[in-house]
Amino acid sequence: MKPPSAAERLLQHLGVEAPEEIDLPAVAFHLGVLAIRRRELDGCEARIVGRGDNAIISVSSSVWPTRARFSVCHELGHWCCHRGRTLFCSAADIGAEDGERRTGRPEEREANVFAANLLLPPYLLTPLLRPLHALDWRVIGLLAQRFRASRSATALQAVRLGGTPTVLVKHDRSGKRWHLHAPGVPASWQPHRDLDPASAAFDMVFGSRADQPVPRRVGARLWFSRRDAERWTVSEHALAVADGEILVILTLSDEMTAIA
């Protein structure tokens, strides 16, 4: 088991024992952040301005409440990890992910990791994931409500923590943006760059289909480039996250994860 992250240690120090107890204004005040303001910002989505041991966080008034919570956590990550530096966080910086945290400035990646662990702390999320046999967007939605996080952020953290043989893939009209394997899923299960026209996800990106209400079983060859993929089926469940952008949860069988 991994040792608790800095964000988890902070929450544990404050006695947080349930998702509903994550009070971000109280956490921020404990860290010396005297106010969190929603207002119009020019050129950035959020910023923190500090002097000495105190600071003020500003978050753009145009972002959704769940996005604003992640932005606050991101700025607290900067306050804890990068105090004294001048950093302006654009929408591309906050929550910027390629599935494996390889893109973006190192400071922004570090702040995003801190934010994910503060908003969706593994010590609280992992016990909720442990009884699950599979992930889908209904389950992710219920978890997101408890943690007051977006479904995208919740899915990323849930897949990172493992427990189910899952691959999370993001697509837009230009092709695959990134994918993330859950721990234990062999790297040889590489998703295709382009969507297969037979997938529900294809109709959501390029057609008129707006939603995929429930997961469905499809041939693994629709999603994966392995030569032997036609031997198996996977569960696909796609979610539209923006116009022409989707996140897809792919659930593999235990047999598929047992081969290299």
pTM (2 decimals)? 0.91
Who wins on pLDDT, 223 or 102?
223
Q: What is the pLDDT of residues 89-109, one digit of tens each?
A: 565 666 645 444 455 678 888
Give me the pLDDT at residue 233, please: 96
**Range in 19-33, 45-59, 139-153 the model is least confident about:** 45-59
The arithmetic mean of pLDDT across residues 85-90, rounded, is: 58
Secondary structure (DSSP) of 188-230: T-PBPSS--TTSHHHHHHHSS-----S-EEEEGGGTB--TTGG
Report the mean per-residue pLDDT for the chain: 90
Quote the tokens at residue 103.
């893109």
Give me the pLDDT at residue 100, please: 45
- Judge whether 14 and 35 are in contact, CB under 8 Å: no
pLDDT at 142 over 70: yes
Give me the pLDDT at residue 47, please: 87
The arithmetic mean of pLDDT across residues 155-160, rounded, is: 96
pLDDT at 86 over 80: no
What is the rounded radius of gyration, in angstroms, for the C-alpha atoms of the chain?
19
Who wins on pLDDT, 171 or 47?
171
Pairing assessment for the beta strands 33-39 and 166-172 based on DSSP bridges: unpaired
